[in-house]
Every structure is written in structure tokens, then in C-alpha cells.
Amino acid sequence: MVAQSGRKPKPTAVKVLEGNPGKRSLNTQEPKPDKKAPRCPSWLEDEAKKEWKRMAKQLEQLGILTEIDMAAFSGYC
């Protein structure tokens, strides 16, 4: 497998926020997960569940937390 040279491409959402100054075409085929917070895992300890509920609500409102983030977010909590 050959490594990709150069910078990693920015997500389309970042390009839109920055204004796309180079006027390059945007990737319309980019995966777009639902912007819905995942359910709190039952195996988390009580303190971790409190942190999950506190942060998940805020991150979901900002459109940052999605189902894809469950494992990483569980590790944070």
C-alpha cells in the first residue's frame, strides 16, 4: 500500500467554515454521520455517566458528537 503524500485533506465542513478561499470543488460524496449523540453505555460507572450526560448534550447541540464517536467519548468519560 502506498502512503498518500502531502497534507491530509480537510473535511468539507471545515472548508465551508473557512470560506473555501481557493474556490476548489467540495467533496459531495463525503460520509455525513447523523449529528445525534450516541446512547450512554450501560457499563460506564456512575460518575462517568454523569459526565456523559453533561457533555453529550452540549456537544450534540454544536453538531460535534455523533454515533461514530461513541468509543472515543466513552474513553473520555
pLDDT of residue 63: 80
Claim: this prediction has a pTM higher than 0.85: no
The residue ranges of every structural domain in the chain are 35-77
Report which residue type is found at 27. Answer: N
For residue 48, give Cα distances in angstroms to 4, 29, 34, 38, 66.
38, 36, 24, 14, 18
Summarised one tens digit per residue, pLDDT across range 30-68 is 877 777 888 899 999 999 999 999 999 888 888 888 888
- pLDDT of the residue at 49: 95
- Contact 11/27 with Cβ under 8 angstroms? no
State the pLDDT at residue 54: 92
